[in-house]
Amino acid sequence: MDSVIFLNAVSPIAAHLKEYIKGSYLAPNSSSSYRSLASISAMSQPFVHIITSLSDGGAEAVLFRLVAFHDPQNHVVISLSGKGKYGPLLERCGVKVHYLNMPRGRLTFGGLRKLFSILRRERPHVVQTWMYHANLVGGLVARLTGCRKVFWNIRHADLTPGAYGRGTRLVSRLCARLSRFVPTGIVACAERARTVHIAEGYDARKFTVIPNGYDIARFRPDAATRDALRRGIGVGPDTVLLGLVGRWNKEKDHSNLLAALSRLAADRRDIRLLLVGTGCTADNAELVSTIAHHGLSGRVIVAGRRDDVPAVMNALDLHILSSSSEAFPNVVAEAMACGTPCVVTDVGDAALIVGETGWIVPPRDADALAAATARAVETMADAALWQHRQDNARRRIEDNFSLATMVARYEALWRDAPDDAVRTQ
């Protein structure tokens, strides 16, 4: 959702809320509905999440992991749009999911009325919104229904022109102006995201950085799945398999990766590349043309979106993040949890995730990416040294980015933040 139509529709809501700020507390529900977090379970008040979409993206994946790990039946998820990838997955876990089915870039009266009705009926003690449009709309409507704890979630670390559409940047700027009034707190998934948004005008006092967490029981080294997947895609045990898991998107900068690989391909005939993600398919004319342009036809496997990401990460010898923009790239941590070292561009918190276990290069620099990848491949020749690097990659995720740690941080945030409310006349 990134159109001017969206902004025009939401502006009256924002103006209405500002009028409330000058007066007494808004309390359409009785004050007994808003007690300490410790009593929520007994009162059957759910945690409500409002998210722009449930498509195949990083924020959606984190929401799914958080809810599924915590207590699925005590969470309600509201998608401003449709089911996407994660709607059915959430439903299977026992989560109550509502779909407002608003078109991309537009708010509808029916959608807003349904959102208002759901929040009034559920009477949540905590509303957690995800991504700019849901932060804006979900935050405002949650306040207007009397919710005392509203938390925004920031998932991006680059607001420069060209990184995102004009409408999305305008929504973010409006959120910056409202950040003093609407959210109780703001979660940033990366330190870089926090810094960028404070510079944009967001209220610095509201921020808490909660890095993404990963299911280290699901993402783990597995030799059997490695061998099976490699056989399935026709890759032998002696082939060096590089990979990128990420949807076809400008910010993922697949062209940078393909340009880097073309610099290695002549000298290393044993290298192949696996691309996994939405849009990474043989019917993507732009991708196929770029592969051919770099002379890599026959060296690149395009597998599209797959649900067996742990198996993919195990099958790779090296995962490469070539992005020009990220906040907290999930795929890097997922690869490392499977014992697969990474080469990453220095975007968002990618360098923080990798630490000393991998290689870090500037974004948009194919020569530097090629050189780092070559050094990584050379390191594989020493089996003991490579095994040590694989073990360290896994251990870094276990020690710093487990799913249990992330869930505990959200719980503490929701529990410890004081009740507040929007004022009315």
Give this prediction's pTM. 0.80
Per-residue pLDDT, 11? 55
Per-residue pLDDT, 176? 97
Distance, in Å, from the CA atom of 405 to the CA atom of 410, rounded to the nearest integer, reads 9
CA 267 to chain centre: 36
Distance, in Å, from the CA atom of 257 to the CA atom of 267, rounded to the nearest integer, reads 17
Q: Is the pLDDT of residue 266 over 90?
A: no
Q: Is the pLDDT of residue 375 over 80?
A: yes
Interval 35-64 mean pLDDT:
76
- Higher per-residue confidence, 104 vs 340: 340
Interval 359-385 mean pLDDT:
97
Percent of the chain past pLDDT 90, that is, above it, reads: 80
Per-residue pLDDT, 201? 96
Per-residue pLDDT, 138? 98
Among 28-32, 257-261, 341-345, where is mean pLDDT lowest? 28-32
Q: Is the pLDDT of residue 18 over 90?
A: no
CA 235 to chain centre: 30
Interval 154-158 mean pLDDT:
88
Per-residue pLDDT, 134? 97
Among 296, 300, 287, CA closest to 247: 287
Per-residue pLDDT, 70? 86
Query: Quick one: three-class SS letters along the chain?
Result: CCCHHHHHHHHHHHHHHHHHHCCEECCCCCHHHCCCHHHHHHHCCCEEEEECCCCCCHHHHHHHHHHHHHCHHHEEEEECCCCCCHHHHHHHCCCEEEECCCCCCCCCHHHHHHHHHHHHHHCCCEEEEECHHHHHHHHHHHHHCCCCEEEEEECCCCCCECCECHHHHHHHHHHHHHCCCCCCEEEECCHHHHHHHHHHCCCHHHEEECCCCECCCCCCCCHHHHHHHHHHCCCCCCCEEEEEECCCCHHHCHHHHHHHHHHHHCCCCCEEEEEECCCCCCCCHHHHHHHHHCCCCCCEEEEECCCCHHHHHHHCCEEEECCCCCCCCHHHHHHHHCCCCEEEECCCCHHHHHCCCCEEECCCCHHHHHHHHHHHHHHCCCHHHHHHHHHHHHHHHHHHCEHHHHHHHHHHHHHHCCCCCCEEC
Among 34-43, 109-118, 142-151, 178-187, where is mean pLDDT lowest? 34-43
Per-residue pLDDT, 158? 78
User: Could you identify the residue written with the tokens 């010898």?
Assistant: 317
Q: Is the pLDDT of residue 422 over 70?
A: no
Tokens representing 28?
A: 């359409």
Interval 165-181 mean pLDDT:
92
Q: Is the pLDDT of residue 32 over 80?
A: no
Per-residue pLDDT, 284? 98
Interval 88-99 mean pLDDT:
97
Q: Is the pLDDT of residue 10 over 50?
A: yes
> In whole angstroms, how large is the CA radius of gyration of the chain?
23
End-to-end CA separation in angstroms for the chain: 32
Per-residue pLDDT, 7? 53
Among 71-80, 146-155, 277-286, 415-424, where is mean pLDDT lowest? 415-424
Whole-Å CA distances, 56 to 73, 305, 341: 23, 9, 24
Among 37-46, 143-152, 346-355, 390-399, where is mean pLDDT lowest? 37-46
Domains of the chain with bracketed CATH: 4-213+405-424 (3.40.50.2000), 223-401 (3.40.50.2000)
Per-residue pLDDT, 6? 53
Q: Are 16 and 417 in contact (CB under 8 A)?
A: no
Per-residue pLDDT, 30? 32
Q: Is the pLDDT of residue 26 over 80?
A: no
Q: Is the pLDDT of residue 312 over 60?
A: yes
Tokens representing 6?
A: 């969206």
Chain-wide mean pLDDT for the chain? 89
Per-residue pLDDT, 15? 52
Confidence of residue 359 (pLDDT cuts 50, 70, 90): very high
Interval 199-206 mean pLDDT:
96
- Higher per-residue confidence, 37 vs 358: 358
Distance, in Å, from the CA atom of 173 to the CA atom of 187, rounded to the nearest integer, reads 17
Tell me: the pLDDT tens digits for 94-106? 999 999 999 987 8
Confidence of residue 44 (pLDDT cuts 50, 70, 90): low
Confidence of residue 13 (pLDDT cuts 50, 70, 90): low
